[in-house]
Structures are given as structure tokens and as C-alpha cells.
Amino acid sequence: MFHKEGHRIILVTLIVIVALFLLTDSFVTIPWLNTVLMIIYLAFLIIVLQFFRNPKRFSHRDADHVVSPVDGKVVVIEEVFEKEYFNEKRIQVSVFMSPINVHVTRYPIGGKVLFSKYHKGKYLVAWHPKASEENERTTVVVENESYGKVLYRQIAGALAKRIVNYAKVDQPVLQGEDSGFIKFGSRVDLFLPLDTKIKVQLNQKVRGGETIIAEK
């Protein structure tokens, strides 16, 4: 199953690859070179298909839990001052996605969208300390009565040139549902209440919509 954000790119890539196969088969007469080129074309197609895959995830929805919004590795767990929306101290948990991870972003909690904003910015490497505030990014805040407010931020990286965000203010959302997509490697930051119980560790690999990041 492939994400809708990749349908056009996959179709164009498939057409180009088929054309290259036909041209190579017609004009490249050296057998070993013909084989090498065919393998390269096929490998590129597989990479594109893998990047836009959208595997089914089975979220155990719980209003007291925050699930990981993306696949990747936990690279930050620290207390910070969040100044865009809360203007108070929060626990930041950041998940870094490599180009081979699933790049679907999912809602970490269910509830209602209170805030959704896109920011133009730079394309520093995703693990850069200033990436959260200076890179292209979107900020979304979701609230439910049990857990409270959770802010998550999609951040573009050196390769990611397009962030897709589906969250709209006042929209009701379900935990684990698709909330967007980041094209190529990047990261997502979560900003959680100080009294939350963090359930992950640094360098832990997490799965979007399934791994519990924190709980009340």
C-alpha cells in the first residue's frame, strides 16, 4: 500500500523507468552494461516505492497515551522552553527519520486540533539544534480532555523539501490517523507536559501510531 502523496511520483517514475528499459534494450549492445543499467533502473524504482509505502498500523487508542507520530529513532529527550504556542517549559521528545523510514506522520493523540501553522525556513540537517526553530516546519496542537494539549512539529531536513500537513483548526482527529507526510529524511518534535511519564529512551527505535511515547 502506498501513500496518496506518492501516487503521481510513482506513476511518473514508472513511466520513465519503462522508457529507459526500452531505450537501453534497443541501443546498448554491450551485454554486461545493459544488465548493469537495468539493475540500476530497477533499484531506483524500488527505492521510490519503499519511500512512499504506507503500511497499516494498529493503534491501541488510549486518551492517556501519546503515541509516536512517525517511524524512526528517538534523538532528544529534554526539558525545554516552548515559545511558539505554550510559552512555558515542556518535555521535548524528538524522533529522527532516515530516508528509508516510513514517512507518514500520524496524530499522537486523538481530540481536537487547536492550532496548525506552516513556517517557511531553512534546510539545516534535521539533527541540528536550531532545526526546530529555523527550518521549514509545521506546528500542530491537539487537545483531549484526558491528556491535555500535545504539540507536534514536522521539521524539514537537508533532503526534505516538502512537508504535507492535513491538520485543520477545530477538526476532530483520531489517534494514529494520518496527519501528513514529510518527503525524505527529517524529524518530528513532540512537546509534552512536564508531569508526563516518558516511556521511551534515547536511541530507541519507534513505530508511528504504535509505540507509546508518554502517558499520564
Active site (catalytic) residues: 186
Number of neighbours of residue 11 by Cβ within 10 angstroms: 10
